[in-house]
Amino acid sequence: MAGPTTINNRGPCFWCLKAIKWIPVLFIVVIIAWSYYAYVGQLCLDTVKSTAKQIVYLIFYHMFFIMLCWSYWQTIFTEIGRVPLKYKIDDADFRTLTITESAEAQRQILENISRHLPNTNINIQGFPRFCDKCKIIKPDRTHHCSVCGECVLKMDHHCPWINNCVSFTNYKFFLLFLGYALCYCIYVALTSLPYFIDFWKGSLEGPGRFHILFLFFVAIMFGVSLISLFCYHCYLVSENRTTLEAFRPPIFRTGPDKRGFSLGRYNNFQEVFGDNPKTWFIPVKTSLGDGIEFPLNSRHQANSYQSMDNTQNSNREVDSETSKLNSVEIVT
């Protein structure tokens, strides 16, 4: 007799859970769609009498609406950063690792496997970090997501409202989504406030008045919820830190350091938003790096993008000088 269907064999339970995970996203989409109907149809077209005011309201509203939807789409459908194959632990090494009881032997095995990898983070025992579920050496800032079922590059957290991990690949989009959603809520609340007041005074007539009432309350409610989350993530960006790193600082050879990846506020901002100001607030990929190697604070290693270029230039100069010396020796 066959056993019960499990998630791993992709039976009915797997697809049911997969569908359930989209419910929070569907809820947000419904709220946004209803707010569009309430603001454009009921407030601007049916309630606002001035044509000039209608035009101004609608122009600015659609600017926020488009950027909100665009950034939300990018946050949801941008694939998580996956660990390259070179970090994979082969079956023989993994088998040896799991049956070895000596901590020192495990450390030696892990260090031997990761000796050619550009990792700087270690675990609390001083070993190279690895995932026994994915059978990989974890790159710096990578963590295993139990919901996604795999290791995620520069994982911040798993967000049910996007049914995706917030990570290296979509962190900029996530932050823009929070920012544009907050601006959207503030704009809707401020422009609907006079008509909300008219409703309470009893001078607002028509069936759309209840939509305007709920529109104002929903905008205030979501705005209050978003402002603290947005400010917190702005702080994390300024410190070049993830949510997970805020709770548990990364461990380096010199010990735990919550500022180990901090390069200064402006450089930290560029790590997420890129070095081109024209694309900072547009939901397109501009984040620096590959999600695997990260510049370190100078206390650990002079390994910023600029210093990498300087090192490469220095190496070229050394090679050039060496070739000149060799040519002189040959001539003499």
- C-alpha closest to that of 215 among 46, 25, 22: 46
Please report the pLDDT score of residue 81 as a whole number.
86
180, 76: one domain = yes
53, 109: one domain = no
CB 192 within 8 A of CB 39: yes
DSSP state of 158: E
Using CA atoms, how far apart are residues 180 and 174, in angstroms rounded to an integer?
Answer: 10
DSSP state of 260: T
Q: How many domains does the chain have?
A: 3
Residue 279: exposure state from Cβ atoms within 10 A (0-12, 13-18, ≥19) = middle
65, 104: one domain = no
302, 266: one domain = yes
Specify the long-range contacts of residues 61-64, CB closer than 8 Å, at least 24 apart. Answer: 61/187, 61/188, 61/191, 64/180, 64/183, 64/184, 64/187
pTM recorded for the entire structure: 0.84
Any domain includes 151 = no
Domain C-terminal end among 195, 221, 246: 246
As given in the structure block, the two tokens for residue 315 are 């190496």
Q: How far apart are the first and last CA of the chain?
A: 87
Any domain includes 58 = yes
107, 61: one domain = no
45, 70: one domain = yes
221, 173: one domain = yes
Please report the pLDDT score of residue 300 as a whole number.
62
Active site amino acids: 159
Any domain includes 145 = no
36, 174: one domain = yes
CB 67 within 8 A of CB 32: no
Any domain includes 233 = yes
Please report the pLDDT score of residue 321 as a whole number.
44
Using CA atoms, how far apart are residues 313 and 86, in angstroms rounded to an integer?
Answer: 27
69, 101: one domain = no
Tens of pLDDT along the chain (332 residues) come to 333 333 455 678 878 888 899 999 999 999 999 999 999 999 999 888 899 999 999 999 999 999 999 999 999 999 998 899 999 999 999 999 889 888 888 889 999 999 899 999 999 989 999 999 999 999 999 999 999 999 999 999 999 999 999 999 999 999 999 999 999 999 999 999 998 888 887 777 777 788 889 999 999 999 999 999 999 999 999 999 999 999 999 999 889 999 999 999 999 999 999 999 999 999 999 999 999 999 998 776 543 334 344 444 444 443 444 444 344 333 33
Residues 266, 254, 137, 9, CA torsion sign: negative
What backbone torsions phi and psi does residue 24 show, to the nearest 5 degrees? -60, -40
- C-alpha closest to that of 131 among 145, 117, 120: 145
172, 225: one domain = yes
Using CA atoms, how far apart are residues 248 and 318, in angstroms rounded to an integer?
Answer: 41
Any domain includes 316 = yes
38, 64: one domain = yes
Strand partners of residue 151: 144
What range does the domain containing 117 cover? 85-138
278, 180: one domain = no
Any domain includes 215 = yes
Any domain includes 155 = no
As given in the structure block, the two tokens for residue 35 are 């707010």
Using CA atoms, how far apart are residues 280 and 30, in angstroms rounded to an integer?
Answer: 28
Domain C-terminal end among 179, 213, 246: 246
Domain C-terminal end among 230, 246, 262: 246
Any domain includes 4 = no
CB 172 within 8 A of CB 271: no
